[in-house]
Amino acid sequence: MPAGEFDIIRRYFTRPKRRGDVRLGVGDDAALLRPPAGQELVVTTDTSIAGRHFPTETPAADAGWRALAVNLSDLAAMGAEPAWFTLALTLPSSDDDWLAAFSKGLFQCADSAGIELVGGDVTRGVLVITITAMGLVPARTAMRRAGALPGDTICVTGTLGDAALGLQLLQAGGDTGSNDARALLQRLYRPQPRLAAGAALRGKAHACIDVSDGFAADLGHILQASGVGAEVDAAALPASEAFARLAGEDATALQCGGDDYELCVCLPPAPVRELSLDCPLTPVGRITAEPGLRWRDAAGNEIPPPGGYDHFQP
């Protein structure tokens, strides 16, 4: 017999307490959490809809990992340390195999980040996963989109374009079995939030955002919030070896295609050289006093910046 609502919660989403600051987790009308003195609570929500935010054929374990990882990426961008999360899950049916795999992927991601599930909701409908993640930062130290200054170096962690190219390969229905294709699909299905880099950049970066909608669009948010402009060297955008081998003519557009979950940070030039992170940090341009985004190709010619993803774009 398929599990009912309360069986689902008990079987798949109730585990022994992991953090001492959880006074009451899953099971009561609400959770009771104890944020430490001197820390600010950082709160973010992201919804993942099957067929819109992730392909419907996404394996259940990857859907679980990804739904939490995209929220952790927002905590990383603020420089926060993950603490607690809630899960509002809407399911078309009570499918034990799916739930077992989903919760396994979800908790793999949770345990890798030291974040604890403290509550949620289960309802019936099309597959929608909404997670609210909470983290902690020392008071008044969180990174924001505002704060970039003319002369700052714009840097990106890791590589851009892998997930967008992975999605393109998937949608083209071609062979996704090669090592390169698998590496790209791994970036799409299992994004690795840049939590350690975000924490290390806190106090050093003037502004930060995580790259979810696309590099050019997300940098645009920093520019708007900071009241500055930027020059970007498209040829400097960091690419993985798999991406370099498989991307064609539209490489730059793919590198602004979104789902990267890297960090875009604006730093005064000196700390860029001194920072030691657990991932590559690549300079790709600089902040200017003149507003607007100026984008240059490898030959130094100005080209129009690629757009980003917008759910309500007509």
Of the candidates 221, 218, 262, 264, the one whose C-alpha atom is nearest the C-alpha of residue 240 is: 262
Greatest Cα-to-Cα distance within the chain, rounded to the nearest angstrom: 65
Closer Cβ to Mg ion, 121 or 310, answer by number = 121
Compare residues 9 and 232 and give the one whose CB is closer to ligand ADP: 9
Does 119 help bind ligand ADP (rule: CB under 6 A)?
A: yes
Whole-angstrom Cα distance, residue 94 to residue 127?
Answer: 11
Q: Which does 267 bind (CB under 5 to 8 A by kind): Mg ion, ligand ADP, none?
A: none
79 vs 39: CA distance, rounded Å: 12
Dihedral angle over CA of 49, 52, 54, 57, nearest 10: 100
CA distance 119 to 273: 42
The reply to whether 158 sits near ligand ADP by the rule CB under 6 A is no
Q: Which stretch binds ligand ADP (CB under 6 A): 68-76, 117-125, 193-201, 282-290?
A: 117-125
133 binds ligand ADP (CB under 6 A): no
Told to check if 121 binds Mg ion by CB under 5 A, we report yes
Query: Which lies closer to ligand ADP via its Cβ, residue 75 or residue 117?
Result: 117
117 counts as binding ligand ADP under rule CB under 6 A: yes
Beta carbon nearer to ligand ADP, 64 or 79: 64
Q: Are 144 and 106 in contact (CB under 8 A)?
A: no
For residues 255 to 294, the per-residue mask of contacts with Mg ion, x marking binding by CB under 5 A and - elsewhere, is ----------------------------------------
User: Where is 85: in which H helix or E strand?
Assistant: strand 81-91
Which segment (68-76, 118-126, 222-230, 279-287) binds ligand ADP by CB under 6 A? 118-126
Residue from 40, 55, 90, 120 touching ligand ADP (CB under 6 A): that is 120
Contacted entry of Mg ion, ligand ADP, none for residue 57, CB cut-off 5 to 8 Å set by kind? none
* Residue 122 is a binding residue for ligand ADP (CB under 6 A): yes
- Helix, strand, coil % over all residues of the chain, rounded to 5: 35, 30, 40
| Interaction of residue 222 with ligand ADP, rule CB under 6 A | no
Enumerate residues 19-48 that contact ligand ADP by CB under 6 A. Answer: 26-29
Q: Distance of CA 139 to CAs 23, 35, 79, 84, Å? A: 22, 12, 12, 18
Q: Which stretch binds ligand ADP (CB under 6 A): 112-120, 156-164, 255-263, 291-299?
A: 112-120
- Does 208 bind ligand ADP (CB under 6 A)? Our answer is no
Question: HSE (CB half, 13 Å, CA atoms) of 156?
Answer: 26
Residues 52-91 as x/- pattern, contact with ligand ADP by CB under 6 A:
-----------------------------------x-x--
Three-state SS for 151-173 is: CCEEEEECCCCHHHHHHHHHHHC
Terminal Cα distance for the chain, rounded: 45
Q: Which is nearer to Mg ion, 121 or 302 (CB)?
A: 121
**CA atoms within 13 Å, Cβ hemisphere of 10:** 5
DSSP 211-227: ESS-HHHHHHHHHHHHT
With CB under 5 A, what is the number of residues at the site for Mg ion? 1
Q: Give the pair of three-digit tokens for residue 311.
A: 């759910």
Where along the sequence are the contacts to ligand ADP (CB under 6 A)? 9, 13, 26-29, 87, 89, 117, 119-122
Interface positions with Mg ion (CB under 5 A): 121
